């Protein structure tokens, strides 16, 4: 509970960002405080060790999944794969199109980032509608990886993202 409080204290809210009517949850202050950042990784590590007997790979989601994913992967002694916005990764890739609140986006992963049959956990800073993590799950399924679950710091429960991701489970440190 102490660790959780340390984390929650460091999440700020900005009204009308990036557009009017959106209340943006900002996790950047966590990065400024090594104790809070350590607490985030401790809490994820505890959850993963308690929940899964084997995890082969952490998959970080562009861009804020990249901040926490490598730290967790190192803790667990496993590797990291990246899912990025289209056009950022060299070599053979797989991609999937998905819709955002406004317009469309495409997520992409290097073909050799994950091996068929690998058990993977996805990580991002925040779950809203679930569109981003859903697309990421699709990419991993295309490469025959087994998605064990998704990890996020923040879940916005009104938007039903966890419902959208079912049967893949979501673990969040905090909810709004």
Catalytic residue list contains 64: yes
Is there binding between residue 78 and ligand 5GP (CB under 6 A)? no
Is there binding between residue 108 and ligand 5GP (CB under 6 A)? no
Q: Which stretch binds ligand 5GP (CB under 6 A): 41-49, 69-77, 129-137, 140-148?
A: 129-137
Among 95, 118, 132, 172, binds ligand 5GP (CB under 6 A): 132
Is there binding between residue 60 and ligand 5GP (CB under 6 A)? no
**Token digits of residue 168:** 């893949």
**Token digits of residue 120:** 């993977």
* CA-CA-CA-CA dihedral for 155, 159, 164, 170, to nearest 10: 10
**Measured distance CA(37)–CA(53) in Å, rounded:** 25
Closer of 86 and 117 to ligand 5GP (Cβ): 86
Using a 10 angstrom Cβ sphere, with 0-12 exposed, 13-18 middle and 19 or more buried, the burial of residue 142 is middle
Residues making contact with ligand 5GP (CB under 6 A): 24-27, 61, 64, 124-132, 161
Catalytic residue positions, numbered? 64, 101
């Amino acid at each position: 509970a102490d660790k959780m409080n340390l984390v929650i204290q460091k999440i700020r809210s900005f009204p009308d960002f990036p557009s009017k009517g959106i209340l943006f949850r900002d996790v950047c202050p966590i990065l400024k405080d090594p104790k809070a950042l350590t607490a985030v990784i401790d809490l994820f590590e505890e959850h993963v060790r308690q929940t899964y007997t084997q995890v082969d790979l952490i998959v970080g989601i562009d861009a804020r999944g990249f901040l926490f994913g490598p730290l967790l992967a190192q803790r667990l002694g496993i590797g990291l794969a990246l899912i990025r916005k289209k056009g950022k990764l060299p070599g053979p890739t797989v991609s999937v199109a998905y819709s955002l609140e406004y317009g469309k986006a495409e997520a992409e992963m290097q073909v050799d980032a994950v091996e068929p049959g690998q058990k993977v956990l996805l990580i991002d800073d925040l779950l809203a509608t679930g569109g981003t993590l859903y697309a990421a799950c699709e990419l991993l399924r295309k490469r025959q990886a087994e998605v064990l679950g998704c990890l996020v710091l923040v879940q916005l429960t009104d938007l039903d993202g966890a419902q959208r991701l079912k049967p893949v489970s979501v673990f969040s440190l905090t909810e709004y």
